[in-house]
Chain A
Amino acid sequence: MKLVEKNMTKHTFTHLDALESESIHIMREVAAECKNPALLFSGGKDSIVMLRLAEKAFRPAKFPFPLVHIDTEHNFPEVIATRDKLASDLGERLIVRSLEDSIKRGTIVIKDESKPRNPYQSVTLLETIEEFGFDACLGGARRDEEKARAKERIFSFRDEFGQWDPKNQRPELWDTYNTRVNAGENIRVFPISNWTETDIWEYIGRENLHIPNIYFAHEREVIRRGGNVIPVSELVQPKPGEKVEVATVRFRTVGDMTCTAPVESTASTVEEIIAETATTRITERGATRMDDQTSEASMELRKKEGYF
C-alpha cells in the first residue's frame, strides 16, 4: 500500500477528524464488547455516514455485524435503491424486516393507510431484535436533532420492553463506555451523537459519499397543507380543493413519505447544501418532520416507547 503523503501534524486534526475518530472508537467498542450487535441502516444520509465510519473502523475485515433496516414501506423508492446498492457494493449482509410482517402477525393494526407509520416502527424493531437476539443496535441519531436526544447517552439502555428511562441513565465519562446489559435488555448505541447536520454534510463532501438524489434540488409535484409542503405520492393525493403544483425542492431528511416534507431549495451540490445549511433558520426536524411538530415532547414520548 502507498503511504499517504498528507502532512498530519497536530494542527491539521480538524473537527471532522476528531468526530470521526470518536465514532470509530465507539463502533469498535461495540464490536469488541457486545455479543450480537447490528447496525440500523435506512439508506438516509446519517446512516450512509455510519457505513463509511464502519468501513474505517473495521476494514480490511468485514463488518462484525449485519445491517438491519426496519422498512415502513412508506419509503421513497430512491432511498430503498440506495440502501440496496450500498449494501451490495460493500458486500455486507442486509436484513430487512417490514412493518407488513408485523401487520400480518397482528402486532400492528393500521387505522389509516395515509397516516405516518413512524409510531409503529418500534414494534417491528423490537420484534426484529427479539428474532435475532441482538444485544446492541448501532443507530445514526444525533444529539442536535431534538431536545430529548440532547440528553441521551451514547450507549443508551433499553429495558426488556424497549423503553428508555431518561431519569435513570448511566453516567458516561471520558471515552470509557459501560456496555454491559442484563439478559433481555439491549443497548442503542449512537456513534454520531456529537455530529451536527453541517458536520454530516461536510463529511459527505469530504468522503464523496453516494446519497439518494432526492437530497438534491429537483422538481416535484407538491401540495401545500397547513403550512407544510407535502410531496404527492401514491400515499398522498390532493384532497378536494387542494392544488398540485410543481416546485423546486430537496429533502433534508428522508423518512416516511407521508410526513416528510421537502424544503424549497435550488441547492444541487453538496457545497450548495452546506452553504444553505449554514444560513438556514429552521432546525432539520422542525422543517421536515410533521410528526415531531405535534407537541413539544413528541420525540421524548416516542423514545420512551422504544422508538430508536
Chain B
Amino acid sequence: MDTNTQLLRFVTAGSVDDGKSTLIGRLLHDSKSIFEDQFSAISKTSEKRGMASVDLSLLTDGLQAEREQGITIDVAYRYFATPKRKFIIGDTPGHEQYTRNMVTAASTANLAIILIDARKGVLTQTKRHSYLASLLNVPHVVLAVNKMDMVDYSQARFDEIVSEYKAFAAQLDLHDVHCIPLSALNGDMVVDRGENLDWYKGPALLEFLEEVEIDHDVNTSDFRFPVQWVCRPQTNEHHDFRGFAGRIEGGEISVGDEITILPSGRTTTVKEIVTYDGNLATAFAPQSVTLTLNDEIDISRGDMFVKTSAHPPKVEKEFEATLCWLAEAPLDKSRKYLVKHTTRSAKCLFSRLDYRVDVNTLEQHAVEKLNMNDIARVAINVQSPLVFDSYDIDRSTGSFIVIDEANNNTVAAGMIA
C-alpha cells in the first residue's frame, strides 16, 4: 500500500507566450490527472471565449479576479502523480511581480523547468529565470525548448539554442542542466515521445521528472537539528520525559552520537530518537523526530543541535546575505526588522546595502533603497547570534525571512553567504 514513490517539487518559469500553462495542462492531461468536471469547465470557457480547441492553459487560472482579467496573480500549487513519483508543481505567473513569485516557488523546489520559445531562443527573461534558479540553489534545471512544431522540429535550431544557453549558464552556479526539445501544443516529448523528434535520444520531459536523482537534494552530510518544541508530558507515566522535537534539516543522527548544542556550545550524547511509531536507531533529513539526551542541559526552542565531529556552522551576530525584497513598502535602513531563521527570531538592522543585481543583465548597481522585486547584497546585524550555514551548503540553515513588525508582513527573503 505504501508504495515507494518519492516526492518531487518543481517550479515552472516562463510566460504565457512561451506556452507554460499549455505545458502544465499537457502534463496533467496526458498523465491522466485532469478530471472530467475540470475538463468540461475549461471546455465551456474556451467555447465562451471563441476558441477553436480546448485551451489547456485555463486549468491553471484559479481565482475569479484572474478569470475576469485573464491574468494570474499568485503562486498556485498543482498536484499529479505517476506510478513512479508524486509531483508538486509551483506555478508562477509571468508578469511584473515575477521575481517575488518565482523566488517563493523556487525556495522549495527540487527542479526548475525554464521554458524557451524555439522561435525566439534565449531571451532576457530566460536569463532572469536562470539567475533566480541559481540564486535559490534549485538542484536541477530543465531547459524546455518549446514550440518545436513552429521551427519544423529542427535539430539544428535546438542545438543552436542549447549552445547559446550553455554559454550563458556557465556564468551561473547551476549544477545540473538538461535540455529537452518539445511541443506542448502537440504533446511531443512531454509525456509521450511523439513522432516528430526522433533525432532526440534523451528522455521525454515526464520521464526525466520521474528519473532524476533527488536523494542528495538535501544536505546529507552535516547534521543540523533546530529545536522546534520541547516535549514535557509531565504525566505519571512519562514523569521525567524531556524530549526535543524538530525536523532534521541536514545529515543524520544515531543513538549515542555526541552532539553540540548551539549557541551555548555544551555537549552531550543522544539517548533516544523517539517517534510515534517507536524509537529509531538512526534518523536523517528531512525526518521530524524527538530527541532525548543523556545530560540535563537547559535547552529551548531556537537552539540548534549539530554533531560535534561535523563541519560546524557559524554562530554570529553579523553576516552578509543576498536579499530579495518582497514588499511594496521599500526597505527603510533606519528601521529595525525581525529576522526569522530556522526556529529562532531576532531583531535586526541592515547595516550595509552593497549593491543591487539587475536580474536581466546580472550587472551590479549602486543602491540607496530596495524596492519590491529588487535583489541586493546586504550586511545584517542581529540582536542575538544566529546559528547558520552558507545557503549553498544547507538551504534550511542558510535561509531566513524578514518580517516587518509594524504590520507583521513578510517583507524579504534572504540567503546567507
Chain B residues in 8 Å Cβ range of A296: 41, 64, 67
Q: How many A-B residue pairs have CB under 8 A?
A: 207
A241 within 8 Å of B (CB atoms): no
**A177-196 near B? 1/0 per residue, CB < 8 Å:** 01011100000000001101
Chain B residues in 8 Å Cβ range of A181: 408
* CB proximity to A under 8 Å, residues B376-402: 395-396, 399-401
Assuming A57-B245, A194-B88, is B340 touching A274 (CB within 8 A)?
A: no
The contact of B228 among A2, A4, A13, A28, by CB within 8 Å, is A28
B207 nearest CB across to chain A (Å): 18
Residue among A20, A172, A174, A194 with the highest chain B CB neighbour number at 10 A: A174
Q: Contact: B279 with A3, CB < 8 Å? A: yes
A58 within 8 Å of B (CB atoms): yes
A93 nearest CB across to chain B (Å): 15
List A residues at the B interface (Cβ < 8 Å).
Answer: 1-4, 8, 10-22, 24-25, 28-29, 31-32, 55-62, 143-144, 147-148, 150-151, 166-167, 169-176, 178, 180-182, 193-194, 196, 198-199, 202, 205-206, 270-271, 274, 280-283, 286-287, 296-297, 300-301
Assuming A148-B62, A150-B78, A178-B401, is B231 touching A281 (CB within 8 A)?
A: no
Assuming A1-B279, A60-B238, is B6 touching A196 (CB within 8 A)?
A: no
Assuming A14-B5, A180-B408, is B65 touching A167 (CB within 8 A)?
A: yes
A206 nearest CB across to chain B (Å): 5
What 10 pairs across the A-B complex have the smallest Cβ distances? A286-B37, A15-B7, A24-B288, A297-B64, A15-B86, A61-B233, A4-B278, A180-B408, A173-B107, A56-B276
B85 within 8 Å of A (CB atoms): yes
Q: Contact: B399 with A174, CB < 8 Å? A: yes
List B residues at the A interface (Cβ < 8 Å).
Answer: 1-7, 35-38, 41, 61-65, 67, 73-79, 81, 85-86, 88, 100, 103-104, 107-108, 215, 220, 228-229, 231-233, 235, 237-238, 241, 243, 245-247, 272, 274-284, 286-288, 301, 326, 340-343, 395-396, 399-401, 403, 405, 407-410, 413
Distance, CA A238 to CA B213, complexed state (A): 57
Distance, CA A59 to CA B231, complexed state (A): 8
Q: Contact: B279 with A205, CB < 8 Å? A: no
Distance, CA A60 to CA B232, complexed state (A): 8
Identity of the chain A residue whose Cβ is nearest the Cβ of B59 in the assembled complex: A147
Q: Contact: B37 with A1, CB < 8 Å? A: no
Assuming A4-B278, A21-B288, A32-B343, is B103 touching A151 (CB within 8 A)?
A: no
Q: Contact: B4 with A14, CB < 8 Å? A: yes
Task: List, sorted by A's number, 18 A–B pairs whose CB atoms are closer than 8 Å.
Answer: A2-B279, A8-B280, A8-B282, A22-B286, A25-B247, A28-B229, A60-B233, A60-B243, A61-B238, A171-B104, A171-B410, A173-B107, A173-B401, A182-B408, A205-B2, A281-B36, A283-B38, A297-B67
